């Protein structure tokens, strides 16, 4: 089946999905082929910035020293002082599900691994380390418009690319950016993708590739 222009597919997906009482997400479904997914290097695990975000800002938490947290307090969604890790860990399972990305001051990473690894690891949310004394404000802003894509060992995986109410042109640019990043990570690029579909949260899937 020949590729279809993203704008055409987006219009069809929106037309076929009745509007709901909530703001539906538009997501891609990517089907891989000719890859041994038991080999870690063949799996996709990426944090991909979208040109126009996904319709809501991703929530970013920062774990660090008072000096670091003072720099990011106005831009991060959650700040967690390093000395309060034990307290945070008590309710971590519930709290972690409300946060999309974590950053942490590098010296705290071993402690975070011990206290929170069992919660963060399986969810693919282990923090990205940042050097002491740095200012990760720009990184936080990039993550707030990013999505996490994880194929694990599955041939099919999903990734949000926008939401109903965004301009179709914005969603199309997000689609292009995400697919370019994914194909760039695959061993044989586009040849390792069998098909790509687009759908709203509760709507039917429409084939893009």
Task: Assess whether 48 and 82 both reside in one domain.
Answer: no
C-beta of residue 201 within 8 angstroms of C-beta of residue 23: no
- Give the pLDDT score at 69: 95
pTM of the full predicted structure?
0.84
Please choose, from the candidates 26, 8, 7, 9, the residue with its C-alpha nearest in 3D space to the C-alpha of residue 207: 9
Mean pLDDT of all residues in 142-166:
92
- Give the pLDDT score at 93: 84
What CATH number is associated with residue 107?
3.40.50.790
Please choose, from the candidates 138, 132, 142, the residue with its C-alpha nearest in 3D space to the C-alpha of residue 72: 138
Task: Assess whether 137 and 76 both reside in one domain.
Answer: yes
Residue 123, domain extent? 60-143
Where is the domain boundary, 87, 114, 143?
143
Task: Assess whether 46 and 119 both reside in one domain.
Answer: no
**Number of domains the chain contains:** 2
Where is the domain boundary, 110, 143, 176?
143
Mean pLDDT of all residues in 21-26:
87
Average pLDDT, the chain: 92
Mean pLDDT is lowest, of 11-20, 59-68, 77-86, 161-170, for 11-20
pLDDT, tens digit, 9 for 90 and up, residues 67-117:
999 999 999 999 999 999 988 888 888 889 999 999 999 999 999 999 899
Q: Is residue 40 part of a domain?
A: yes
96: its two tokens: 């972690």
Share of the chain above pLDDT 90, in %: 72
Task: Assess whether 162 and 119 both reside in one domain.
Answer: no
- Residue 34 pLDDT level (bands cut at 50, 70, 90): very high
Where is the domain boundary, 143, 162, 187?
143
- Residue 19 pLDDT level (bands cut at 50, 70, 90): confident
Task: Assess whether 105 and 171 both reside in one domain.
Answer: no
Residue 53 pLDDT more than 60? yes
- Residue 2 pLDDT level (bands cut at 50, 70, 90): low
Could you give the CA distance from residue 140 to residue 49 in angstroms, rounded to a whole number?
A: 11
Cβ burial, residue 203 (10 Å; 0-12/13-18/19+): buried
Task: Assess whether 139 and 164 both reside in one domain.
Answer: no
Task: Assess whether 92 and 104 both reside in one domain.
Answer: yes
Q: Is residue 74 part of a domain?
A: yes
Residue 1 pLDDT more than 70? no
Task: Assess whether 128 and 68 both reside in one domain.
Answer: yes
pLDDT, tens digit, 9 for 90 and up, residues 193-204:
999 999 998 889
Could you give the CA distance from residue 86 to residue 195 in angstroms, rounded to a whole number?
A: 45
Task: Assess whether 50 and 124 both reside in one domain.
Answer: no
Q: Is residue 1 part of a domain?
A: no
What CATH number is associated with residue 178?
3.30.190.20
Give the chain's radius of gyration (CA, Å).
19
Task: Assess whether 134 and 152 both reside in one domain.
Answer: no
Please choose, from the candidates 30, 6, 35, the residue with its C-alpha nearest in 3D space to the C-alpha of residue 166: 6
Strand partners, 130: 105
Higher model confidence: residue 165 or residue 30? 30
Could you give the CA distance from residue 120 to residue 72 in angstroms, rounded to a whole number?
A: 22
């Amino acid at each position: 089946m020949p590729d279809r222009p993203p704008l055409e597919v987006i219009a069809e997906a929106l037309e076929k999905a009745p509007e709901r009482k909530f703001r539906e997400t538009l997501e891609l479904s990517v089907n891989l082929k000719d890859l041994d997914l038991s080999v870690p290097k063949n799996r996709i695990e990426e944090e991909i910035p979208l040109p126009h975000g996904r319709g809501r800002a991703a929530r970013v938490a920062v774990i660090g020293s008072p000096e670091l947290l003072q720099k990011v307090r106005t831009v991060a969604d959650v700040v967690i002082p390093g000395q309060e890790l034990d307290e945070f860990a008590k309710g971590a399972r519930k709290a972690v599900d409300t946060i999309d990305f974590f950053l942490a001051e590098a010296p705290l990473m071993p402690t975070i691994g011990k206290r929170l690894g069992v919660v963060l690891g399986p969810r693919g949310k282990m923090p990205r380390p940042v050097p002491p004394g740095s200012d990760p404000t720009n990184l936080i802003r990039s993550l707030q418009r990013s999505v996490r894509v994880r194929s694990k060992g599955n041939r099919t995986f999903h990734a949000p690319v926008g939401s109903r109410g965004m301009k179709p042109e914005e969603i199309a640019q997000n689609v292009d950016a995400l697919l370019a990043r994914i194909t760039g990570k695959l061993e044989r690029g586009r040849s390792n993708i069998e098909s790509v579909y687009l759908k709203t949260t509760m709507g039917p899937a429409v084939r893009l590739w």
